[in-house]
A and B are shown apart, each in its own frame.
Chain A
Amino acid sequence: MEIAYYPGCSLQQSSALYDLQSRRIFEELGVRLMEIEDWSCCGATSAGKVDDFLAVALPARNIGIAEDAGFTEMVIPCSACYSRTLVAQQRMADDTRLKEDINEEIGKKVRGDLKVSSILESLLPIVTAKDFKPKVIRKFRELKPVCYYGCMLTRFPYTVPVPDRVENPRGMEQVLDALGIKALDWNYKTYCCGASAAVNDNQTSLSLMSRIMKDAVARGANCFVVTCPMCQMNMDAHQNAFCEKNDIEARLPVYFITELLGAAMGIAPEELQLDRHFIDGAQLLKESEKDERKEK
């Protein structure tokens, strides 16, 4: 099976590991991710704050490229890119004049029949199918993750069909279930980390992140699992800063869902580039594995 794939700018740069992992995991699951040709930036959360037309027009160009190549589904692992593209598709469906306006300027016109999927939407049917079970060769039973969804997987600036529960999404927990990992319940799964505020309003962002961390620690979690590269970068890169500021001793690795999936399917941590985390994640995985061997 082949589906269209939009990596987006951050997966080509600071979160290049997420791009590599996504391709590798889907390949292992029998799906080929076909990167769409000559894609451009979706405008992320900034475009909506600078110009409303651009906020739709920038992701629209990528939708046009994918539809022109004959794809019916496009998976977007980055939450910001996913949110912007999904909203653009819906806004053009609701406003044909806007769609025509945009189509006048781009070579590959938008028709509007491409399904825009988050990484969880694309993963779920595969990992919950019967034939997935034999692929899980390592079980990390000692892992006590909290699933951190952030904002952009369930809350949108415009009414769109949301694929999960808005206040209490379960998609990540379901994926982990399929890996034999039990995620903990907690209160901050859809709380905001501040996103770009980590750069332009640091104090606000650190205060938000410390609340997320405090709840995770209070619940007895030993790691976070995320799908959003912005959440991952923020919670990982600034963890020392917000923990020191708030007297939190614990440090929790922030895993991409693809890292746990990959590790469970037996892909080596080096191949997944697990060493590129600010807070080390390789050690915890190894420890969970050690316990596993003792059991046997």
Chain B
Amino acid sequence: MTAPVHEYIPDSTKPFLQEVMERSGQMLTACYQCRRCAAGCTVGDETGCFTPNLLIRTVVLGDRDTALNNELVWKCVSCYTCGVRCPNDIQTARITETLKKMAKERHVEPLQPKVAHFHDAFVESSIRWGRVNEMEFMGFYELKNALKEAKVKNYEAIIDELKEQAKLGLTMFKLGRMHFGFQMAKGRKEVKALYKKAKRKRAASPDANA
């Protein structure tokens, strides 16, 4: 367990819990720690036993630092097994997805930066062209990773990563599973308009600036 001893202060706890509940649409206070989620968690072995029920408890107790940056938030694969089995219909994967967004808004350095880079690069590519171009999106993803590693002069990690991707890429190319044509939707203006609206909504929400 990674959670440190935490002092519980009800007044400062409430707004954080409220925000997570509203944005994720999940009733965290309904959790009675039966651990069915923990038993079924796909990545239970990979998160150092930081299971969905512990994440819920962490949020309920108002330990923001742990809630925004723990193995489960960044290793959760959104398989939704925990939510399907929860007797109180709490979909914890929605909570991890919410906490990822909240971590970003609060400029918390993610425990698994590559996960954040991946989803950002994917959505950026889909907004840019209306459709995702796998090669372009993977390029931007690797660029984000490389820039991060270059900042701390970890050039070996960049080379290893590129080697690994090149190996897979070459096989994909040989098998005819690499696509060189460029895809886009004519209606990408509409997609961009939706993106702008999403941004406006984020800026207008009082929670985002908390």
Chain A residues proximal to chain B, CB less than 8 Å: 9-10, 12-17, 38-41, 43-54, 57-58, 61, 101-102, 104-107, 151, 154-159, 166-167, 190-192, 194-197, 199-205, 207-208, 237, 273, 275-278
Chain B at the A interface: SS class: helix
Distance, CA A200 to CA B97, complexed state (A): 16
Contact A155 B175 (CB under 8 A): no
**Beyond A12-B179, A40-B185, A278-B175, is A46–B191 a contact (Cβ under 8 Å)?**
no
Q: Known interface pairs A41-B132, A157-B93. Does A197 touch B123 (Cβ–Cβ under 8 Å)?
A: no
Q: How far is the CA of A191 from the CA of B25 in the complex (A)?
A: 25
For A105, the chain B residues whose CB sits under 8 A away are 190, 193-194, 197
Measured between alpha carbons, how far is A192 from B46 in the docked complex, in Å?
13
Q: Which of B179, B188, B198 has the most CB of A within 10 A?
A: B198
A49 to B122, CA, bound (A): 11
Q: Which residues of B contact A154 (CB under 8 A)?
A: 84
- Shortest Cβ gap from B133 to chain A (Å): 8
Q: Which of A104, A191, A208 has the most CB of B within 10 A?
A: A208
Known: A38-B187, A39-B185, A151-B80. A201 touches B141 (CB 8 A): no
Please give, as numbers and ranges, the residues of chain A lying within 8 Å of B197 by CB-CB distance: 53, 57, 101, 104-105
A50 touches B187 (CB 8 A): no
Do B194 and A106 have beta carbons less than 8 Å apart? yes
Nearest-CB residue, chain B, relative to A10: B134
A54 to B194, CA, bound (A): 7
Partner of A45, one of B25, B78, B114, B194: B78
Q: List 14 A-B contacts (CB under 8 A).
A: A40-B126, A40-B185, A49-B97, A52-B101, A57-B198, A105-B190, A106-B194, A154-B84, A167-B84, A191-B42, A199-B138, A200-B118, A203-B46, A276-B175
With contact pairs A9-B131, A151-B80, A156-B80 given, residues A14 and B179 touching in the complex (Cβ less than 8 Å): yes
B residues bordering A, Cβ < 8 Å? 23, 25, 42-43, 45-46, 74-75, 77-81, 83-84, 89, 91, 93-94, 97, 100-101, 112, 114-115, 117-120, 122-123, 126, 130-134, 138, 141, 164, 168, 171-172, 175-179, 183, 185-188, 190-191, 193-195, 197-198, 201-202
Candidates A39, A46, A205; contact of B122 at CB < 8 Å: A46
B130 touches A278 (CB 8 A): no
Instruction: Report Cα–Cα, A279/B89, bound state, in Å.
Output: 40
Apart from A14-B177, A47-B123, A191-B79, list 4 A-B contacts with CB within 8 A: A9-B134, A40-B131, A107-B187, A157-B97
Q: Flag if A102 contacts B172 (CB, 8 Å).
A: no
Residues of B within 8 A of A50 (CB): 101, 119-120, 123
| Structural contact, B179 and A155, CB atoms closer than 8 A | no
Q: Is the CB of B194 within 8 A of A9?
A: no
The reply to whether A38 and B114 contact each other, CB–CB distance below 8 Å, is no
The 8 closest A-B pairs by CB, nearest first: A192-B79, A41-B126, A13-B179, A155-B80, A46-B122, A46-B119, A200-B118, A40-B185
Which residues of B lie under 8 Å from residue A205 when comparing CB positions?
A: 77
Roughly how many angstroms separate A44 CA and B45 CA in the complex, as a whole number? 26
| Chain A nearest Cβ from B89, distance in angstroms | 8
What residues of chain B lie closer than 8 Å to A278, measured between beta carbons? 171, 175
Structural contact, B190 and A106, CB atoms closer than 8 A: yes
CB closest residue in chain A, given B185: A40
Answer whether A201 and B115 are a contact pair too, CB < 8 Å, given A45-B78, A155-B84, A192-B77.
Answer: yes
The reply to whether B119 and A49 contact each other, CB–CB distance below 8 Å, is yes
Choose one: B89, B122, B176, B187; the contact of A276 (CB below 8 Å).
Answer: B176
A51 touches which of B83, B185, B202 (Cβ 8 Å): B202
- Residues in B with CB closer than 8 Å to A46 are 118-119, 122-123, 126
Q: How many whole Å from B159's CB to the nearest CB in chain A?
A: 16
Q: A16-B179, A38-B185, A40-B131 are in contact. Are A201 and B123 (CB under 8 A)?
A: no
Give chain B residues whose Cβ lies under 8 Å from the Cβ of A52: 23, 101
A155: chain B residues within 8 A (beta carbon): 79-81, 83-84
Indicate if the CB atoms of B185 and A53 lie closer than 8 Å.
no
A86 to chain B, nearest CB (A): 13
